[in-house]
Amino acid sequence: MIRQFPFRPVAGDSKLTDQPGPTAAHQRGARLATPWMAVIAGALLHLPVAHAENFTPPGLEGFTQHSERDADGDGDGVNETHIMQYMNTNGDSLFSMTTRDRLWAWSLDTRDSDIGTDNYVIRDSDCDGSFDEVYALDQEYHVPDCLK
């Protein structure tokens, strides 16, 4: 499906009267580009986990504890992971995840942004105290094997 350009020339509007509508070339380009854009967008949603030596945990300055609960962090039906949620006045949300007294993940979800640098999960994959993996909020992650 080809989407029409949102602006059309309007009589008396000097800014728009000289603007052309979509040409046959624009329409052909849209037909060719649309499937590739879908493939690229799909690939970006399922990016592999980023690895690094150390991701810095978010600071708690300006956040207050909002809630806490136990949850199943590895899919075995046992609520072994303690989750604490912190909120700030802007509505941003931080979560910490702890299993067997070891903090293994932080999650940050900012209210005013959808970009990855402001919304992420960092995980300590090998229980060495370094957060060495980063995930998008919509990616799946579990308790590290070292805590099972």
pLDDT tens figures, 88-114: 999 999 999 999 999 999 999 998 776
Domain that holds residue 127: 50-147
Where would I find the beta strands (DSSP E) of 8-49? Answer: none
**What pTM value is reported for the model?**
0.63
- In this model, does residue 46 exceed pLDDT 80? no
pLDDT value of position 102: 97
The residue assigned the tokens 């136990």 is: 70
Instruction: Provide the 8-state DSSP code for 60.
Output: -
The single-letter code of the amino acid at 141 is Y
pLDDT in tens, 114-133: 655 678 999 999 999 999 99
In a shared domain, residues 26 and 70? no
Provide the pLDDT for residue 113.
Answer: 76
Pair 63, 81 in one domain: yes
Q: Are residues 71 and 98 in the same domain?
A: yes
Backbone angles phi, psi at 101, to 5 degrees: 60, 20
Q: pLDDT at residue 2 above 90?
A: no
Whether the pLDDT of residue 7 is over 90: the answer is no
